[in-house]
């Protein structure tokens, strides 16, 4: 049964890829130019002060996957839940790219955006159906660039089903992208997401981590990126929790990560889906 599910998952992925390839085909005088199309993405732009900043301006740059096609290498998802790459992306457990630090007040709205850097074959947004979360970890050292993300992490947002930020597939421009097996997930095809820093977050230097997960019975895909922020707070201070370590928060095979997202999509609702722990800290 497990093997069958995994195979079904892959078949769905293959169908999605074929559709994407068809869309990317350049048909010139009847001669089709075959384009190698994949379905990965990256959230490399921080939204801050109501502006979408440049790729890697406030977010830790990640490294390309060496064995991958050049255009895809940067976007290749993580699949090992035990890797330190799960913190902030491939080879981004330290801020070697020295991104800027965004100074924000507790209670402010910030966000993450995808879509760049652009290559001919990479998807502009969260192409896969699945769920997302936003996490924070306070630096244990004086410089955020030198913080490995090995301290405590807490979750401030969990996105599973549709919200007012989800893509409206009833709009004429989006209707052709409607797919009942996928649009049940609130982040499906989104290109950015905004959220609020809890009002009682203790002041300090933090990593803010975006995580989009494409569940899969066999090999779930993790899309993660981290921004550098300094939280200012003169008001009441809370105690964030529960906290976890990353990696360590997920185990290969756990049922709320390693399942077929299409199992929920086909009936058109997320009834019965409980996202993985930890609980969200609301401040
Ligand atoms: Cu993909």
Distance 198 CA to ligand 1 centre (A): 31
* Domain-located, residue 16: no
* Domain-located, residue 56: yes
The distance of Cα 158 from the centroid of its chain, to the nearest Å, equals 11
pTM: 0.86
DSSP state of 144: G
Distance 191 CA to ligand 1 centre (A): 15
Asked whether the CA dihedral 15, 8, 270, 222 is positive or negative, the reply is negative
Distance 23 CA to ligand 1 centre (A): 16
Give the count of domains, the chain: 1
* Domain-located, residue 31: no
Distance 130 CA to ligand 1 centre (A): 11
Predicted local distance difference test score (pLDDT) of residue 129: 94
CB 183 within 8 A of CB 268: no
Distance 40 CA to ligand 1 centre (A): 4
* Domain-located, residue 15: no
Phi, psi of 133 (to 5 degrees): -150, 160
* Domain-located, residue 8: no
CB 134 within 8 A of CB 243: no
* Domain-located, residue 142: yes
The SS3 assignment for 146 reads helix
Predicted local distance difference test score (pLDDT) of residue 2: 41
Distance 77 CA to ligand 1 centre (A): 7
**One-character DSSP codes across 11-62:** HHHHHHHHHHHHHH-EEETTEEE-----------EEEETTEE--TTTSB---
Residue 248's DSSP bridge partners are none
Domain extent, residue 42, equals 38-265
Predicted local distance difference test score (pLDDT) of residue 49: 93
For residues 177, 182, 186, 191, the Cα torsion angle rounded to the nearest 10 degrees is -50
Placement of tokens 């190698």 in the chain: 36
Predicted local distance difference test score (pLDDT) of residue 107: 98
Predicted local distance difference test score (pLDDT) of residue 68: 83
**Tokens, residue 130:** 């699945």
What CATH number did the domain enclosing 256 receive?
A: 2.70.50.70
**Tokens, residue 14:** 């293959």
CB 228 within 8 A of CB 95: yes
* Domain-located, residue 11: no
- Note down pLDDT in tens along the chain; length 283 residues: 344 444 444 444 544 444 444 444 333 323 333 333 467 899 999 999 999 999 999 999 999 999 888 888 999 999 999 999 999 999 999 999 999 999 999 999 999 999 888 777 777 899 999 999 999 999 999 999 999 999 999 999 999 999 999 999 999 999 998 888 899 999 999 999 999 999 999 999 999 999 999 999 999 999 999 999 999 999 999 999 999 999 999 999 999 999 998 888 777 788 889 999 999 999 9
Distance 214 CA to ligand 1 centre (A): 8
Distance 128 CA to ligand 1 centre (A): 6
Predicted local distance difference test score (pLDDT) of residue 27: 34
Predicted local distance difference test score (pLDDT) of residue 267: 72
CB 122 within 8 A of CB 77: no
* Domain-located, residue 149: yes
The SS3 assignment for 7 reads helix
Predicted local distance difference test score (pLDDT) of residue 183: 92
Instruction: For residue 152, give the nearest of 135, 169, 173 by alpha carbon.
Output: 135
Residue partners of 172: CB distance under 8 A and separation at least 6: none
């Amino acid at each position: 049964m497990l093997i069958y599910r995994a195979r079904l998952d892959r078949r769905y992925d293959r169908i999605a890829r074929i559709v994407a390839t068809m869309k990317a085909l350049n048909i010139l005088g009847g001669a089709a130019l075959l384009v190698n199309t994949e379905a990965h993405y990256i959230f490399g732009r921080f939204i801050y002060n109501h502006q979408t900043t440049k790729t890697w301006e406030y977010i830790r740059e990640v490294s390309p996957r060496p064995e991958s096609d050049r255009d895809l290498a940067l976007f290749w998802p993580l699949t090992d839940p035990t890797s330190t790459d799960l913190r902030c992306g491939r080879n981004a457990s330290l801020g070697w790219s020295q991104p800027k630090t965004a100074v924000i007040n507790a209670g402010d709205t910030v966000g993450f955006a995808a879509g760049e850097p652009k290559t001919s074959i990479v998807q502009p947004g969260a192409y896969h159906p699945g769920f997302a979360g936003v996490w924070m970890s306070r630096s244990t050292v004086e410089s955020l660039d030198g913080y490995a993300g090995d301290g405590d992490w807490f979750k401030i947002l969990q996105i599973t089903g549709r919200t007012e930020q989800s893509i409206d597939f009833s709009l004429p421009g989006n209707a052709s992208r409607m797919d009942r097996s996928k649009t049940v997930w609130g982040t499906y095809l989104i290109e950015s997401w905004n959220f609020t820093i809890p009002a009682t977050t203790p002041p300090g230097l933090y990593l803010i981590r975006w995580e989009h997960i494409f569940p899969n019975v066999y090999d779930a895909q993790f899309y993660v990126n981290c921004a550098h922020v300094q939280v200012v707070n003169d008001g009441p201070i809370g105690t964030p929790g529960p906290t976890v370590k990353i990696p360590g928060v997920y185990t290969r095979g756990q049922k709320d990560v390693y399942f077929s997202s299409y199992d929920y999509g086909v009936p058109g609702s997320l009834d019965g889906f409980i996202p993985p722990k930890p609980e969200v800290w609301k401040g």
